[in-house]
Amino acid sequence: MSKTLIYAHRGASNLAPENTMPAFQLACESGAEGIEIDVQLTKDRVPVIIHDENVRRTTNGTGLVQEYTCEQIKKLDAGSWYSTKFSDCSIVTLDEFLCWFKTLPMLLNLELKTNVIEYKGIERLVYDALQSHQMLDRTVISSFNFNSIKTINEIDPHVQTAFLTSKKRHNLVKFAKKLGTTSLHVRYRLLDKKLVKDCHKNKLSLRVYTINRPADMNRCFKLKCDAIFTDCPYEAVEYRTQI
Ligand code: G3P
């Protein structure tokens, strides 16, 4: 069993505004193996990278992502909320991100944010974008909405998918297997030795979010989780060398 991989959660989001190019660039320089991004759809059906359904928290705008055209949403300031030194940051489209990311030797976790707004057809749009950038073989597509996972599996059964959950559920591993996912992405409080063992026995990768405390990182490394998602990839890379 190989080492626990590190995915920078929304980029190196402890050092730069989440889901923006500076956060992605820092993640790439940190030594993390992967980056996690969140994808939603604009009014004109362009996949864009932003965590919340509403732009209020991470931009200078208000309202839902789906109320903006791509041209309008690109004009928002997506950095000043974090620090004025990032005031030139804009929301990144999935296409812009993939043009840059595909040249790097890194893994991608793309979360479809379909748990609050369904964004009908987002699965096909995202799949086509990944395919056209030849990124399918190093991407795992995850979602809290299991219908999105089912749709991706129907589009292409060879794509790596992950069911995301923060809730304790009886027979979680069995549920994920039945869904046809290749992995489970769980909140840290769900992690225990038995879950790791059950996942591996059932050939599921287990990745855990969001791990920012050194003690929690160490526990994930020792339990041999397949990967962690962290806002602090530099620290995680450093702590992993001490295991
Ligand atoms: O994909 C792991 C983690 O990002 C899931 O939670 O709320 O950050 O989308 P959230």
pTM of the model as a whole? 0.97
Contact assessment for residue 231 and residue 216, using Cβ atoms and an 8 Å cutoff: no
- Report the C-alpha gap between 233 and 15 in whole angstroms: 10
Any idea what the Cα angle at residue 173 is, between residues 136 and 222, rounded to 5°? 80
Render 43-74 in DSSP notation, one character per residue. TT--EEE-SSSBSTTTSS--SBGGGS-HHHHH
Q: Residue 81: what pLDDT? A: 98
- Grade residue 1 by pLDDT with cuts at 50, 70 and 90: low
Return the CATH number at 32: 3.20.20.190
Q: Residue 203: what pLDDT? A: 97
Q: How much is the average pLDDT of 71-78?
A: 98
Q: Is the pLDDT reported for residue 204 higher than 90?
A: yes
- Report the C-alpha gap between 228 and 7 in whole angstroms: 6
Render 132-197 in DSSP notation, one character per residue. HTT-GGGEEEEES-HHHHHHHHHH-TTSEEEEEE-S--TTHHHHHHHHT-SEEEEEGGG--HHHHH
Atom of ligand 1 nearest to the CA of 38: 9
Boundaries of domain holding 22: 5-241
- Report the C-alpha gap between 240 and 220 in whole angstroms: 10
Q: Residue 65: what pLDDT? A: 98
CA of 165 to the centre of ligand 1 (A): 9
Residue-wise pLDDT tens digits, 146-197: 999 999 999 999 999 999 999 988 899 999 999 999 999 999 999 999 999 9
CA of 44 to the centre of ligand 1 (A): 25
Q: Residue 243: what pLDDT? A: 83
Q: Residue 170: what pLDDT? A: 87
Going from the C-alpha of 185 to that of each of 69, 77, 95, 120, 178, the distances in angstroms are 31, 31, 25, 23, 15
Going by alpha carbons, the residue nearest to atom 10 of ligand 1 is 51
Query: 25-29, 98-102, 169-173, 187-191: which range is least confident on average?
Result: 169-173
Q: Is the pLDDT reported for residue 114 higher than 60?
A: yes
Q: Is the pLDDT reported for residue 121 higher than 70?
A: yes
Residue-wise pLDDT tens digits, 34-61: 999 999 999 999 999 999 999 999 999 9
- Grade residue 2 by pLDDT with cuts at 50, 70 and 90: confident
Known catalytic membership, residue 170 = no
Instruction: Provide the number of structural domains found in the chain.
Output: 1
Query: Residue for token digits 């450093």?
Result: 238
Provide the token pair at 61: 């705008």
What percent of the chain is modeled with pLDDT above 90? 98
Q: How much is the average pLDDT of 132-139?
A: 98
- Report the C-alpha gap between 90 and 73 in whole angstroms: 8
- Report the C-alpha gap between 121 and 165 in whole angstroms: 22
Do β-strands 47-49 and 92-93 pair in parallel, antiparallel, or remain unpaired?
antiparallel
CA of 38 to the centre of ligand 1 (A): 8
Catalytic hit among 51, 133, 170, 185: 51
